[in-house]
Structure 1
Amino acid sequence: MAMGESAATTEKIRDALRAAHLYYMQDLTMEAIASELRTSRSSVSRLLSFAREIGLVEIQVKSPVDRLSTVQERIRTQFNVTAHVVPVPDSINEVDRLERVALSAARILGPFFDSNMTMGIAWGSTLSAVSRHLQEKVTHNSQIVQLNGAANTRTTGIGYASEIMGRFGRAFGAYVQQFAVPAFFDDPRTKEVLWRERSIRRVLEIQKHMDVALFGLGSLLADVPSHVYSSGYLDEDDLASLTQWGVVGDVATVFYRADGSSDDIPLNARSSGPSLELMRRVSRRVCVVSGRSKLPALRGALAAGVITDLIVDEATAHSLLEP
């Protein structure tokens, strides 16, 4: 095969894979895909047929080319994580971008969780979006555990957190373990005392034996506001403290700096979330991120070593690799 023909075939495979991802995993219509790819509806139809013919698509989107794509391979090499890059055009707004990434994440997540497994869930704007797109998968003797409390001075947080947890439980037929404690304690000593209670220790023990942890990244800079920063969990003094200590983001309300360190950040002593050390012991740690505004938080989380699988939009993935 001539070099020009080989390049044309590779480009066609990539276009077919992109069209298949948009059609089967993001539920876009052929008209919408044609607009996004700047081609005709009939061309999209041919690309989808081609994708099926060469085995890119069976029941799910299969992505051998994607696994070997330059961006994903570079992320694997540079950060030692498995990247799942979601094709999203730069032209859409950040709310729609999050929905597209969340929809793909919900479908990518299915094979990660099965019977006799425990999955930890960190509530937040991203996981709320993912929970709305989950597909049902029957599992047995499985459980979903809440990673951090959701109460603050304005609300118990039970409604918000339980809605997210409930969706995951129903989708997988799993038992839900809720964590009815504050997101942040007023006094670290109160947390220390409560953590000795048997009812709390039971949940903490479940967290220690998670098979999968699923989380988004909290960020003060996010274009789509992180729930912990926008819903009364932190007062002005807390926010000033985060700036003072160089915080760039949080995982399950545990804060970290750009270099991934989390030691001596005062709010972490009051947080109900699992330590980054505990998170690093979970065999599969799935992070869902949408939008370039979360790049500082993403870089910090990667430096902290808390991610094994990254589900991210295309533009953010490219930006992550920039010097």
Structure 2
Amino acid sequence: MNKENKKQDLAARVAWLYYVAGKTQLDIASILGISRQIAQRLLSAAKEQGLVNVQIIHPISECLELAQNLADKYKLDLVRVVPSKGADLQSINDMLAQEGADVMGMFTHQSKPQIIGIGSGKTLRNIIDALPLSEDSQHVSVSLIGAIARDGSATRYDVALKLAEKIACKYFIIPAPLYVDQAQEKQSWCQHRAYQIVKDKAQQSDAFFIGIGEVGLGCPLNTEQFITDEQVNQLNELGAVAEILGYFIDQNGKPVVSEFNDLTTSIRLPANSDYNVIAFAAGEHKYSAIRAALKGQYLKGLVTDEMTALKLIKELD
């Protein structure tokens, strides 16, 4: 890489931190190990050279290379990597939301009607917040996951309706709790005509947008009271490191033998399928979960961060 390209990469990195992550010039100087004056000059250069135009249009070479390496290694059709070197988790999540919105927009901005299957979680909610409003959508938003806990409460992070409101489209929700109490009850829920309609619609999705959940005390399913502390510990003992739409997998991406995998009403996305499954997940705490999803070959696309991508490339066989 020549000197000019290196300078543009650094200017683009500064622009990401300033415009997307909301960092001050002093913050950026500390994160990147440069002076505030240099950070200020790079920010000015980014604007003058046209690198910033609502979106940051100059991709960072290291991130592009990591994305290509991940795509090649796991036979993924789409990989996006946001810069995260020296960034805190909130900054990473802000950048992930922006890049995720760009990827999601590839489908929501199409003139051809799209069926979009969507999971749940804070990450997807943040991405939809960053998605531009649309008032002329012919698309359909379909929930892939039951969002009702056993006590009857609903998660704050059910996002099918939020997406439908953002792009002005019709939406379908799974009319069932995430986990039922026994197999016979699941059969009753899943045989219902309304459930079958949503399931059939979901299986026709042009794209499936999902998060990848870690499994541990304080994880989303735990804090949202879908699973108790005791159940989290039991799942960890069984080898669960990740969950996809409420289904648990081990470090090799294999389904964990547990009552939860038998009692969830979510749409199951099998490994090695033709489904266009795109996951959004980033941060050190998500590494093991992302690793498991990749090893299990559940994904066709991934949007993640630089340091996680680097670790995935270095550590995975």
Normalising by the smaller structure, the TM-score range is 0.7 to 0.9
- 1:3 paired residue number: none
Of stretches 237-246 and 269-278 in structure 1, the one that deviates more from structure 2 is: 237-246
- Of 192, 199, 202, the residue aligned with 2:194 is 199
- Of 70, 94, 112, the residue aligned with 2:107 is 112
- 1:309 paired residue number: 301
Deviation at 1:228, TM superposition (A): 0.8
List aligned pairs for 1:163-178, cutoff 5 A: 164-178=159-173
- 1:153 paired residue number: 150
- 1:287 paired residue number: 279
Verify the 8 A CA contact 2:250 2:256 in the aligned structure 1: no
Distance verdict in 2 for CA 1:99–1:21, change over 3 Å: closer
List aligned pairs for 1:117-128, cutoff 5 A: 117-128=114-125
Superposed CA deviations along residues 271-302 of structure 1, whole A, max 9, x for unmatched, are 1222231893322x221112212211111100
Verify the 8 A CA contact 1:66 1:72 in the aligned structure 2: no
- 2:7 paired residue number: 12
Superposed CA deviations along residues 52-109 of structure 1, whole A, max 9, x for unmatched, are 66664555333455487332222122222333222234352x3454344234323443
Deviation at 1:147, TM superposition (A): 0.9
Distance in 2 separating the partners of 1:208 and 1:119: 10
Share of identical aligned residues, percent?
22
Q: Point out where structure 1 has 5 or more consecutive residues left out of the alignment.
A: 1-5
Superposed CA deviations along residues 2-59 of structure 1, whole A, max 9, x for unmatched, are xxxx631231121122233334444545555445434456644654565466664555
Superposed CA deviations along residues 166-211 of structure 1, whole A, max 9, x for unmatched, are 3322221222212231110111222123212111101101110111
CA RMSD of aligned residues (A): 2.9
- Of 247, 258, 265, the residue aligned with 2:251 is 258
Verify the 8 A CA contact 1:143 1:169 in the aligned structure 2: yes
- 2:86 paired residue number: 90
Distance in 1 separating the partners of 2:91 and 2:48: 31
Verify the 8 A CA contact 1:221 1:294 in the aligned structure 2: no
Distance in 1 separating the partners of 2:55 and 2:140: 25
Secondary structure (helix, strand or coil) at the match of 1:69 reads helix
- 2:56 paired residue number: 61
The reply to whether residue 232 of structure 1 matches residue 232 of structure 2 is no
Q: What amino acid does structure 2 have at the position aligned with 1:150?
A: A
Deviation at 1:245, TM superposition (A): 2.9
Verify the 8 A CA contact 1:25 1:107 in the aligned structure 2: no
Distance verdict in 2 for CA 1:48–1:78, change over 3 Å: same
Distance in 2 separating the partners of 1:308 and 1:267: 25
Distance verdict in 2 for CA 1:100–1:211, change over 3 Å: same
- Of 268, 282, 307, the residue aligned with 2:261 is 268
- Of 127, 140, 143, the residue aligned with 1:130 is 127
Deviation at 1:153, TM superposition (A): 2.6
Distance verdict in 2 for CA 1:309–1:54, change over 3 Å: farther
Verify the 8 A CA contact 2:12 2:58 in the aligned structure 1: yes
Distance in 2 separating the partners of 1:279 and 1:129: 28
Secondary structure (helix, strand or coil) at the match of 1:247 reads coil
Distance in 1 separating the partners of 2:236 and 2:71: 31
Secondary structure (helix, strand or coil) at the match of 2:138 reads coil
Distance in 2 separating the partners of 1:250 and 1:270: 14
Verify the 8 A CA contact 1:221 1:293 in the aligned structure 2: no
Secondary structure (helix, strand or coil) at the match of 1:272 reads coil
Deviation at 1:270, TM superposition (A): 0.5
Distance verdict in 2 for CA 1:58–1:67, change over 3 Å: farther
Superposed CA deviations along residues 225-284 of structure 1, whole A, max 9, x for unmatched, are 43212222113563344234321101110111111122644321111222231893322x
Normalised to the residue count of structure 2, the TM-score between the two structures is 0.84
Verify the 8 A CA contact 1:26 1:103 in the aligned structure 2: no
Verify the 8 A CA contact 1:144 1:165 in the aligned structure 2: yes
